[in-house]
Structure 1
Amino acid sequence: MYNFKTLKPFLFKNKWPYILGILWLLVVDLLQLFIPEVLRSITNQLQNNQLTYQDIFRYSLYIFLIGIGIGFFRFLWRMLIIGASRELEYHLRNKLFSHLLTLSTSYYHRHKTGDLMAHLTNDIHAVRMAFGPGIVAMTDAIFLNITATTMMALTTNFRLTIYALLPMPLLILCMTRFGELIHAKFKTVQEAFATVTDQTQENLAGVRVIKAFVQEDTEITQFNEKSQALFDRNMELAKLFGIFHPLVQFLSSLSFIIAIWYGGRLVIEGGMSLGDFVAFITYLGLLVSSISAIGWVINVMQRGSASMERLNKILEEKPEIQDAPDAIKQLEIKGAIAFQQVFFTYPNSQYNALTNFSLEILKTAKIGVIGRTGSGKTTIANLLLRLYEANQGSITLDGYPIEKIPLETLRKYIAFVDQDSFLFSATIMENIGFGVDNYTLEDIQRVAKIAGLHEDVISFPKGYDTIVGEKGVTLSGGQRQRVSIARALLKNSKVLILDDCLSAVDTHTEEKILTALKDQAKDQTTIIIAHRVSTLKHCDKIIVLDNGMILEEGNHEELLALQGLYYDFYEKQLLEEKINME
């Protein structure tokens, strides 16, 4: 139960639905206890030949009214307790999702999406079951055990009650031991389920690659192996239940055997009336069913506990990057950026992504960044956005250390177009407007024209209301990049970072976009990261990165005159263009 400590605030806030629900549940249980008494009276009168038609009608009416009462109060407790458990499910899912969005980028490098999806579905469902049906069954078991045992001892025969309860310690010992095994087995089931979910998510996301490389059979084989592992774990759990439930039923039936043998003798010998015997057996039935339900309660609670343990591990994760306690709340950013002797190494990497990196960018300046793959170009954007923290050195924005700027403020002032050009499964308009709270169709069209997208969109049957599909699958690579550019432009931030986001468009379209950007971004500090020299030639300053260090810097003409790495890039791209023209 220690694993449920995280839920204390929710349970305290929602205590009344549980308290009232349990109260009405106890009323239902009390009403059930009247039925053995009605049966006792009927049987005794029948045994003594005293039962009349009027008595039959009266007892039938009692049972009918008890049934109506049970139905009414059962409805009340279901609405309260099951409703509260659904509220818990809603609360826990929102809390987990909100917490996941606060975690740093590195967390998602260590954990798979499928595993996190399993937490949001299976694990939360298991916790809901523990705090819904589990609470009901546990309350039933505790209350009926106490009251049924008391009624058996006080209203029938004390010695018979003691004999009938002899198997119960064995039953409790059995359920306790099996509860521990169920907890351990269910954790392995959840882990196997997470593996299958991850495989499914990854394969569906990469289905085009799978088909392109004709790897369907290989992926199906791998999925079958993981699915088989899940099946095996479930079968191990099922075998455990296959032993557990019959064993509980067997130990419970021993109580009936004792009651029938000893109670029957008492009736024959006149030590107990037949009505008392019938009432005792009915009470015993309530007792045994409630004790048997303890097995189900242990199962549900152990599943819920195992799932809550997995959820707690996520909820206890702290973002590696947070607002500083002395963060500057009120500031106005204009866009001047400075890197001073910055060193950075990605987690689990042995090599520096940036080494002794220093760069000063004046406000409204246009800076180009070029270099070989893996030279550290994207790292500049990652550190400026505080997706990662620099290992050494300082980064400032208008003289403020970025660690002292609240994350929300910092990222509000920076518009970023990453090289993946991720789109949501929504309309083109919704994707472009993602980064702002309010926008009009005219705003969307304006930035789409700058990004060279408008002509493509109006050719679609639904225009800006076109659904782009998961990750923008219905659009071409160039169209996805241009939607991402338009999304960043609509944000109208002081700093604009374009990370290799024109690689999928032709040079003619690229030239049109860059020309339009020149006017749009004249009041913005712009960092353009690219592999093509043509993308950067109009920048005020270009830096050439190699192994995380600035190898060359200057404008286009100055870098060509150096005849260094930048010149090599330029010559190779001229050769590529010449070959393509031929």
Structure 2
Amino acid sequence: MKSFTTVIPFIKRHKWDYIIGIIFLLGVDLLQMIIPHLLGSVTDLFKSKDLTPKILLNYSLWIIGISLLVFAFRFIWRIKIMGMSRLLEKDLREDLFSKLLTLSPQYYHEHKTGDLMAHATNDINAIRMAAGPGIIMSIDASFLSITIILIMIFTINFKLTLFALLPLPVLALVVNRFGKIIHARFTKVQEAFASLTDKVQESISGIRVIKAFVQEKEEIENFRQENFRNFLANMNMIKIWGLFDPAVQFLAALSFTIALLYGGTQVIRGVISLGEFVAFTAYLGMLIWPMMAFGWVINIFQRGAASMERINVILNEVPEITDKFADPNITTIKGDIEIKNLTFSYKKDLPPVLKNINLKIPRGKTLAIIGKTGSGKSTLVNLIARLYTVPCDKIFIDGHDINEIPLKVLRENIGFVPQDNFIFSDTIANNIAFTKEEPLEKIQKFAEMADVHKDIVEFPQQYDTVVGERGVTLSGGQKQRIAIARALIKDPKILILDDSLSAVDTNTEERILNNLKEFMKDRTTIIVSHRISTIKNADEIIVLDEGEIVERGTHEELLNLKGLYYSIYEKQQLEEAIQKEG
């Protein structure tokens, strides 16, 4: 199947493990085929009254010896083939995770987390089943079928074998038809599971909002609907599998009936001996497993193929942001930023978010950005960090087109605190020293600079305190300040604070900004904020409105313009006065 071309390199790398496993698998099959022959011989000796206790003991020892070899061989092929399928599962999951980390934020805006989680769990498990049990059963069933049929033809009776195997062509048609249906229905099962996973993930992540708005019953009902959809998809799959399995068993029973009627007649007529008939029925019994296995193989491979197609969509996804134009000679940056005539939209068919932006931010200077919600502030700083695809010859750092700077070099030299601060479910120390292991003294130094040290030492475990998922055990202000400390400890050449002080009070904000004065001296700093108190001391302030720079200057210059900045300032002054009176 074309879907499985992705795993061919893995199979080639581990071909000897598969070859050894297959050899021992075939060894088990050959050894098992001796036992019906031995039983037939014992039956004929018993009928002719030539069977003695010594001969019976010899035959018993042979059967025990063969069983011990089967035990050993089966262990070896399981370790080799099943072990490789587990290794493939591990490698595929790592490849998938690595691929996901190369994709841009835009990809995650368009794809649900639950769907991606389903890829990493159910889909990869289905591929593992195809690469392990699927391979085993397909080789085992094919080899057993061919060998048993040849033994039955050449050592027992050709006509009896021919009649007993008459249902096989019908079986082939059944397998082919059901296989196509299974593939389509399993794809729907995986899609339903992905949707269900996404619903659970979203509800748990938003549990505080659900409780705050008393939406527990509504969410339970929404979950019940998703769960019922998942149930129906699985029931449709079970129904087709429920028909498939009995159909194969019926055809196997039909073979036995034919063998019993025709074979019994042949024994009565003396064409074959009773021992040969016993051996034939034993071989036919062994043939039922391959007939059943063909059904399982089709089911497993169709499931695996459906899942592999879903995984391949991600693995073949071309990352939007790459080092295609990167210059390997650029190994560091100083921090001089220039933006020329930048116009940007997230997609070609959408209106631009930024229009004709022109800026110069010399190293060591601070630029502040203010504007209404949706004016393009975060988009602008995200472009400087190349979190979205930047048009060529629009943003320059140290005179280099930003696309020429290797992503690793660019981002290692940027300390970025985004609006949606993400705190990992780990210790506070590890959240601050996220990029590399740092001594506690250094972590404390930057925590003090972010004015969060005194909060941390109040926790029972202090810096070893493990915060909840997404920092749920921390306040909004604590999360913001830990994120600031995480950006500062990188010692970046460019510091970007995207509305990073919105959750702290004005006194805390003032302390943090005072702490940062010395740190910001030789660095390019960009501060995005809704509060004028945060940005009033910046070297230059720009006011964005609908993606355009409508005003620029220092705090005093912008107040004198009596424009948008002035109106924002007046409004905030009035709000502060009302709060003080209250």
Q: TM-score, normalised by structure 2?
A: 0.98
The one-letter amino acid of 1:209's match is V
CA distance in 2 between counterparts of 1:392 and 1:93 reads 35
CA-to-aligned-CA distance 1:131-172 (integer Å, 9 cap, x gap): 111111111101100110010001100111111111101011
Task: Give the structure 2 partner of residue 474 of structure 1.
Answer: 473
Give secondary structure in 1 for the equivalent of 2:166. coil
Q: Does 1:427 align with 2:427?
A: yes
Written as runs of structure 1 = structure 2, the 5 A alignment for 1:463-542 is 463-542=462-541
CA-to-aligned-CA distance 1:85-118 (integer Å, 9 cap, x gap): 0000000000000011001121111110000000
Instruction: Report how far residue 314 of structure 1 moved.
Output: 0.7
Task: Give the structure 2 partner of residue 333 of structure 1.
Answer: 333
Task: Give the structure 2 partner of residue 198 of structure 1.
Answer: 198
The one-letter amino acid of 1:506's match is D
Task: Give the structure 2 partner of residue 345 of structure 1.
Answer: 345
Instruction: Report how far residue 475 of structure 1 moved.
Output: 0.2
Q: Does 1:407 align with 2:404?
A: no
CA-to-aligned-CA distance 1:209-248 (integer Å, 9 cap, x gap): 0000011111111111111011001111111011111110
The one-letter amino acid of 1:105's match is P
Written as runs of structure 1 = structure 2, the 5 A alignment for 1:66-465 is 66-325=66-325, 327-347=327-347, 350-391=350-391, 394-435=394-435, 437-465=436-464
- 2:256–2:284: 8 Å Cα contact kept in structure 1? yes
The one-letter amino acid of 1:103's match is L
CA distance in 2 between counterparts of 1:324 and 1:29 reads 54
Give secondary structure in 1 for the equivalent of 2:415. strand
CA distance in 2 between counterparts of 1:221 and 1:303 reads 30
CA distance in 1 between counterparts of 2:579 and 2:240 reads 67
Instruction: Report how far residue 83 of structure 1 moved.
Output: 0.5
CA-to-aligned-CA distance 1:41-90 (integer Å, 9 cap, x gap): 10000111111111111111111111111111101011111100000000
CA distance in 1 between counterparts of 2:437 and 2:153 reads 72
Q: Does 1:46 align with 2:43?
A: no
The one-letter amino acid of 1:493's match is P
- 2:326–2:405: 8 Å Cα contact kept in structure 1? no
Number of positions where the alignment pairs a residue of Structure 1 with one of Structure 2 = 581
Identity %: 54
- 2:166–2:255: 8 Å Cα contact kept in structure 1? yes
Instruction: Report how far residue 332 of structure 1 moved.
Output: 3.1
CA distance in 1 between counterparts of 2:499 and 2:284 reads 75
CA distance in 2 between counterparts of 1:231 and 1:348 reads 40
CA distance in 2 between counterparts of 1:430 and 1:349 reads 42
Instruction: Report how far residue 349 of structure 1 moved.
Output: 6.9
- 1:365–1:540: 8 Å Cα contact kept in structure 2? yes
Instruction: Report how far residue 570 of structure 1 moved.
Output: 1.1
- 1:335–1:398: 8 Å Cα contact kept in structure 2? yes
Written as runs of structure 1 = structure 2, the 5 A alignment for 1:3-82 is 3-82=3-82
CA distance in 1 between counterparts of 2:217 and 2:349 reads 34
- 1:343–1:392: 8 Å Cα contact kept in structure 2? no
CA distance in 1 between counterparts of 2:389 and 2:136 reads 49
Give secondary structure in 1 for the equivalent of 2:332. coil
CA distance in 1 between counterparts of 2:366 and 2:397 reads 16
- 1:559–1:567: 8 Å Cα contact kept in structure 2? yes
Question: Structure 1 residues 230 and 348 mapped into 2: Cα distance closer, same or farther (>3 Å)?
Answer: farther
Question: Structure 1 residues 292 and 74 mapped into 2: Cα distance closer, same or farther (>3 Å)?
Answer: same
CA-to-aligned-CA distance 1:484-515 (integer Å, 9 cap, x gap): 00000000110000000000000000000000
CA distance in 2 between counterparts of 1:438 and 1:115 reads 33
- 1:329–1:406: 8 Å Cα contact kept in structure 2? no
- 2:392–2:403: 8 Å Cα contact kept in structure 1? no
Give secondary structure in 2 for the equivalent of 1:357. strand
Instruction: Report how far residue 331 of structure 1 moved.
Output: 3.7
The one-letter amino acid of 1:70's match is V
Instruction: Report how far residue 326 of structure 1 moved.
Output: 5.2
- 1:423–1:470: 8 Å Cα contact kept in structure 2? yes
518-527 vs 488-497, which moves further: 518-527
The one-letter amino acid of 1:411's match is R
Give secondary structure in 2 for the equivalent of 1:341. strand
Give secondary structure in 1 for the equivalent of 2:550. strand
- 1:321–1:389: 8 Å Cα contact kept in structure 2? yes
- 2:138–2:294: 8 Å Cα contact kept in structure 1? yes
Task: Give the structure 2 partner of residue 553 of structure 1.
Answer: 552
CA distance in 2 between counterparts of 1:467 and 1:216 reads 28
Q: TM-score, normalised by structure 1?
A: 0.98
Instruction: Report how far residue 351 of structure 1 moved.
Output: 2.8
Give secondary structure in 1 for the equivalent of 2:357. strand
Give secondary structure in 2 for the equivalent of 1:250. helix
Any gaps of 5 or more consecutive residues in structure 1?
none
Instruction: Report how far residue 16 of structure 1 moved.
Output: 1.1
CA distance in 2 between counterparts of 1:349 and 1:416 reads 29
The one-letter amino acid of 1:419's match is Q
Q: Does 1:567 align with 2:566?
A: yes
CA-to-aligned-CA distance 1:536-566 (integer Å, 9 cap, x gap): 0111111111111111111111111111111
Alignment RMSD (CA, Å): 1.1
Give secondary structure in 1 for the equivalent of 2:446. helix
CA-to-aligned-CA distance 1:417-472 (integer Å, 9 cap, x gap): 0011111111100000112x231101100000000000000011000011111110
- 2:390–2:403: 8 Å Cα contact kept in structure 1? no
CA distance in 2 between counterparts of 1:538 and 1:449 reads 22
The one-letter amino acid of 1:100's match is L
Give secondary structure in 1 for the equivalent of 2:121. helix
Give secondary structure in 1 for the equivalent of 2:368. strand
543-552 vs 483-492, which moves further: 543-552
The one-letter amino acid of 2:465's match is T
CA-to-aligned-CA distance 1:235-281 (integer Å, 9 cap, x gap): 11111011111110001111111111011001011111000000011
Instruction: Report how far residue 320 of structure 1 moved.
Output: 1.0
Instruction: Report how far residue 393 of structure 1 moved.
Output: 5.6
CA distance in 1 between counterparts of 2:502 and 2:438 reads 28
The one-letter amino acid of 2:580's match is M
Any gaps of 5 or more consecutive residues in structure 2?
none
Question: Structure 1 residues 505 and 349 mapped into 2: Cα distance closer, same or farther (>3 Å)?
Answer: farther
Task: Give the structure 1 partner of residue 542 of structure 2.
Answer: 543
CA distance in 1 between counterparts of 2:475 and 2:161 reads 78
The one-letter amino acid of 2:474's match is L
The one-letter amino acid of 1:34's match is I
Instruction: Report how far residue 391 of structure 1 moved.
Output: 4.9
CA distance in 2 between counterparts of 1:202 and 1:488 reads 28
- 1:424–1:471: 8 Å Cα contact kept in structure 2? yes
Instruction: Report how far residue 573 of structure 1 moved.
Output: 1.0
Question: Structure 1 residues 345 and 534 mapped into 2: Cα distance closer, same or farther (>3 Å)?
Answer: same
The one-letter amino acid of 1:307's match is S
